[in-house]
Amino acid sequence: MRFHSPQKLKTIADLIGSKFVGPEDFEVLGSNEIHMVKPGEIVFVNHPKYYDKALNSAATIILIDKEVECPEGKALLVSDDPFRDFNKINTHFTRIYNFTEELHDVEIGEGTKIHSSAVIGNNVKIGKNTLIFPNVVIGDRTEIGDNVIIQSGTVLAGDAFYYRKLNGNFDRLISVGNVVIENNVEIGNNCTIDRGVTDSTIIGEGSVLDNQIQIGHDTVIGKKCLIASQVGIAGCCVIGDEVTLWGQVGIASGNKIESGSVLLGKTGVNRDLEKGTYIGMFAEDFKTYLKKEVKLRNLK
């Protein structure tokens, strides 16, 4: 998430009541998750296991729960609860409406048709010649391109599934990102596409989604992908162009699928995959799988 205008390190520290390490006027451009963070942005870390990853990431400002040696050219915000203060920063710069106020700052292109039962949030942009079917829900800040079809019951830009355990309860990391649907995308019935926590969940141009598909926060789907029913993709995944995912494929968070890959039905993914055809609980190369099956059947 980029702020509307650059902020100063001291301004952010005063907002959350934290100590800071670095010049008062050190420039802060936004905030982001570790998977998506860019120079000028804040990333948070609250466990020593991940200190090095955060400190050596692209982040320029590290919101951390202990004062440590600060890498050259970076700054620290030292907080007793970085998770809480990350939420505080994000919601200060991005207002959360959750359909409680109908401000309807919506841009709709020529030729677009939206059923009267659809519910649209604030700061939404919809392009030309797009069709929105009955009972679709489009959350705040969503961007939809031209010639898009979104069928009944689909929900765009619901909250990310991102929690921590705090005092025996679950505490949510508040989602201030959005969903971007590029041109010529078709989305079936009853799909759910979560908005990014601090960035965008993206469905690439020309991709086609079947019914009952779940796509997690900050995941990027490439161009002209074909995704069959009941596929589940966790957060922060990157799916290349022209990838085919058949029914009930499941992809764990943070994994990458190279362009042109095919994942056959019920394939499970828990690692990055190079271009190929895969099957099985642990995404086995399809030809290797077939050879193994022949050998097993020929055993006496």
Whole-number pLDDT of residue 300: 61
pLDDT at 99: 87
Q: Point out which residues pair with 144 in neighbouring strands.
A: 126, 181
| Distance, CA of 32 to CA of 57 (rounded, Å) | 11
3-state secondary structure 99-121: CCCCCCCEEECCCCEECCCCEEC
Q: Which domains does the chain carry?
A: 2-93 (3.40.1390.10), 106-278 (2.160.10.10)
115 is catalytic: no
Name the active-site residue from 4, 92, 115, 217: 217
Q: How far apart are CA 286 and CA 247, in angstroms?
A: 16
Task: Report how far residue 254's alpha carbon sits from residue 269's, in angstroms, rounded to the nearest whole number.
Answer: 10
Q: How far apart are CA 172 and CA 211, in angstroms?
A: 28
CB 42 within 8 A of CB 89: yes
pLDDT of 294 reads: 87
One pLDDT digit (tens) per residue for the chain, 300 residues? 999 999 999 999 999 999 999 999 999 999 999 988 999 999 999 999 999 999 999 999 999 999 999 999 999 999 999 999 999 999 999 989 888 887 778 999 999 999 999 999 999 999 999 999 999 999 999 999 999 999 999 999 999 999 999 999 999 999 999 999 999 999 999 999 999 999 999 999 999 999 999 999 999 999 999 999 999 999 999 999 999 999 999 999 999 999 999 999 999 999 999 999 999 999 999 999 898 888 888 886
152 vs 114: CA distance, rounded Å: 11
Distance CA 125, CA 114 (A): 13
HSE of 199, CA atoms in CB hemisphere, 13 A: 21
